[in-house]
Copies of this chain bind each other. A is one copy, B any other.
């Protein structure tokens, strides 16, 4: 669908309301119609809407996992995704990284007065599609409108609830010496896609975000009986920050192998031009899994059967060494420390 297609079927009449008004967040009739027609009908589908302050969930008695994330990505639309799909997949992935099956999402919109209604509709549709693809339902929500110049189009918070099956315990505290570090695919695409879209950069090939739900590959690992110790998706701060955080939380030393870490040629080229290290560039559909070394081969095989993880590899190990630190064996065979950056390479990538 093109942006025009979305606008043409927008359930809020665009001739009357081409843009979001402050009154759309005011608690009156206009807000009620926006919520009922655009959000509730799109998100709940055939389910009857209960118009309540919250939702009652059915978790079949499983242990619930709970997470929240806000999304302020700029621009709102980029190759491979948009703030809507990002907001769904990001929270789905945080639940998956807890070893949970994602089930329910809550959505909080903060809209800037003047946002084109057709833009909002395009985002809402994208969220529904992403939710369907990830197998989650959007069951509760909230809408606020801030005055023009006090927001930036739209910010979205998605909170999520999932279920952890019995016997599954995925946590940095389970990581121990001897574990293998598996990376689920090539890195750096999301950050470069955002940067290119924001700055109007063009590369020889279009670099699309890797934005994708990761619940399915995680379920495959658990279904296969792989003793998953810890999972972490590689978002802000990239792979380096995620692995360092785990080394610190688990008080272990992690050694990575540079030659095993997959970076597409066009992404590597873009990073060189922009002065970025791909190890620190954001991803939205990649994760690392820590598993016992004797399960590593099986884990890689299972992951590669999933379309999102075809390029999974073991990229390192938990080894004897200074606790809380990460080192990398470079392509030249030398060893270097992998440190956390102080700030960021790219603001507002998610």
Residues of chain A having any CB pair with chain B under 8 Å? 21-23, 25-32, 50-59, 61, 63-72, 93-95, 97-98, 100, 104, 106-110, 139-142, 144-147, 149-152, 155, 157, 159-162, 164, 171-173, 232-233, 235-238, 241, 245, 249, 282, 340-348, 350
Contact = CB atoms under 8 A, between A and B. Distances in A.
Given A27-B235, A51-B245, A68-B106, 17 more contacts: A21-B343, A25-B347, A26-B347, A29-B342, A31-B236, A51-B172, A53-B95, A53-B232, A55-B67, A56-B64, A56-B66, A56-B100, A56-B164, A66-B159, A66-B161, A67-B106, A157-B157
Contacts of A51: 172, 245, 249
Contacts of A53: 67, 93-95, 97-98, 232-233
A103 B160 CA distance: 15
A348 B152 contact: no
A128 to B, nearest CB: 17
Contact of A340 (B22, B32, B109, B110): B32
Contacts of A161: 64, 66, 161
Contact of A64 (B23, B27, B59, B342): B59
A198 to B, nearest CB: 12
9 contacts: A25-B347, A26-B343, A27-B344, A29-B343, A53-B97, A55-B65, A56-B64, A69-B142, A110-B110
Given A26-B236, A97-B53, A150-B152, A104 B66 contact: yes
A50 B173 contact: yes
A93 B142 CA distance: 14
Q: Which of A66, A98, A107, A139 has the most CB of B within 10 A?
A: A66
A343 B97 contact: no
A54 B94 contact: yes
Contacts of A69: 108, 142
Task: List the 9 closest pairs (A to B, CB-CB), nearest first.
Answer: A26-B344, A23-B343, A27-B236, A27-B237, A54-B67, A159-B159, A68-B106, A157-B157, A28-B341
A337 to B, nearest CB: 14
Nearest to A250: B51
A250 to B, nearest CB: 10
